[in-house]
Amino acid sequence: MDWLRRIHFNSIYARLLATYLLLTALGTSFMAGYILWSFHTYFMRTRQADLENWTTALSESAADALEKQDIQKLEELVQRYGAPQTVTLRIFDQQARLLASSDSRIDKQVRDWYKVPGIREALENHQAQGIAKGVLSNEDRLYIVKSISRRGQLLGLLRMSITLEQYQRQFARVIWSVLGALTLVILLCALISARLARSLSKPIETMRNFAIHLGRGHFGDKLLINQNNELDQLAAELNRMSARLASLDQERRSFLANVSHELRTPISNVQVTVEALKSGAYEEPELRDRFFQTIENEIKRLSQLIHDLLDLGRLEAGVTQIKQQTCSLCSLINRTVSAMEPRMQTVGVSVQVNVVNLSLQGDPERLLQVFLNVLDNAIKHSLPNSQILISGYKEGKQAVVKIQDQGLGISERDLPRIFEQFYTTDPSRKGSGSGLGLALAKRIVEAHHGSITASSVVGQGATFTICLPLTTE
């Protein structure tokens, strides 16, 4: 009984097995019952038809003897066709008095034949047939009573009955055989059902354990199920979810590591500068001013990093309010170029603007932040004495802005990741910015129901394409 204790009766396996067994038992029981009923009905109809044919044939001979009042011939008739214990043949006159019987020893004990089933109906010229107990016994017998008439005159009655004892014994053996076969079929179906239920429930249990494993933080594992059905599709979705969770977990870890590094760097620089000032650098005016400028720059950098992180967090959480108002694309581009012009002059980079005056729908300050971040990235990666091209035009219901630099370009390996937080294609430049500019730009553009993409050919620079919705008329 250990296997019974191991079954959880509320599990999918137990429910499937119980359902299969119940359906099998009901189906096979119904089929066995129908077969037995059909067999019984067929036998009874056949025997009834035999009795009717026999009595029809015998009634003609009995009519001849009754017309002649030949009792001896009637006796010979019933003795010839009657058989002890199996077939009983009786002939009566018009008053239901027994004239001849194949079992006269028992029939002598009967005082009132009107009580025998079928006699009254036959006297009224109605054929009677059915199943009844023996005249003086408790065995079931199949009987038929038929009136004997000649030229419209009732001459007598003919009653024939056969015992059902042998048939009942045979039918009982058939029933036991069917029940045995039914039991065997149910046992075989139980084994098949158990295997089928296990084949269906096992993958579900495996997926449950896999989901529990994922819930405990074990990401990246792969679920292997070969069923060639919907369970395969579910397993594929679980594997996709596991891979995505692993990727998100890796991004989270990388984000924390990068944030820690980005926060630690300016703080360490400030700490080292303060220690230097304490050690005597404060006494030298030129060195002191340079150290104070370093502290100020690092504090600004730290403040900008924290500000960008908060902005990015709010955008990803969807809690940042995006103002919806009409703004001019030319105005935004001009403000962007004006803000970055001193820096471009410092690094020796020029800009060419070719923008159509379009009306955008969105938050002008947030959109300005996008253009500033993308242009700042272009300046960082531009070669000295190169040019940045800014173009803007209408395409369908969107305004398309392209910012193209003439830098070294972005490799195919780096291109899919340039909008990730803290990602940089040049590790030597890490520390020159927060590393969140392009990530912030992407989140702001998506919040405006737009898109931003990058394309590049190594050695020929990179192009950032920004698509934003126009003002609805």
CB distance 449 to 360 below 8 Å: no
Per-residue pLDDT tens digits for 383-395: 888 899 999 998 8
Is the pLDDT assigned to residue 47 strictly greater than 50? yes
* CA pair distance 167, 53, nearest whole angstrom: 20
**145-191 pLDDT tens trace:** 988 888 888 888 998 888 888 777 878 888 888 888 888 888 888 78
Of residues 327 and 296, which shows the higher confidence score? 327
d(CA 384, CA 344): 10
pLDDT of residue 254: 66
Task: Return phi, psi of residue 186, to 5°.
Answer: -65, -40
The domain limits of the chain are 14-169, 247-314, 321-469
**How far is Cα 130 from Cα 143, in angstroms, rounded to an integer?**
6
Kindly indicate the confidence band of residue 35, based on its pLDDT and cuts at 50, 70 and 90.
confident
pLDDT, tens only, 305-348: 677 667 666 666 665 667 788 888 899 889 888 888 888 888 88
| Cβ neighbours of 17 (radius 10 Å) | 22
Pick the range with the lowest mean pLDDT from 33-42, 101-110, 314-323, 351-360: 314-323
Q: Do residues 379 and 342 make contact, with C-beta atoms less than 8 angstroms apart?
A: no
Report whether 356 contacts 392 (CB < 8 A): yes
The C-alpha atoms of residue 214 and residue 208 are separated, in whole angstroms, by: 10
Fold of 321-469: Heat Shock Protein 90 (3.30.565)
> Is 14-169's fold the same as 321-469's?
no
14-169 belongs to which CATH class?
alpha beta
Q: What 3-state class would DSSP assign to 356?
A: coil
Least confident piece of the model among 103-112, 286-295, 399-408, 459-468: 286-295
CA angle 197/200/205 to nearest 5° reads 105
Tell me the backbone φ, ψ of residue 470, rounded to 5 degrees: -80, 165
Q: Does domain 247-314 have CATH number 3.30.390.30?
A: no
The CA distance from 231 to 251, in Å, is 30
Q: What is the pTM for the complete model shown?
A: 0.49
Please say if the pLDDT value at position 428 is more than 50: no
**Cα separation of 121 and 143, whole Å?**
13
CA distance 183 to 22: 13
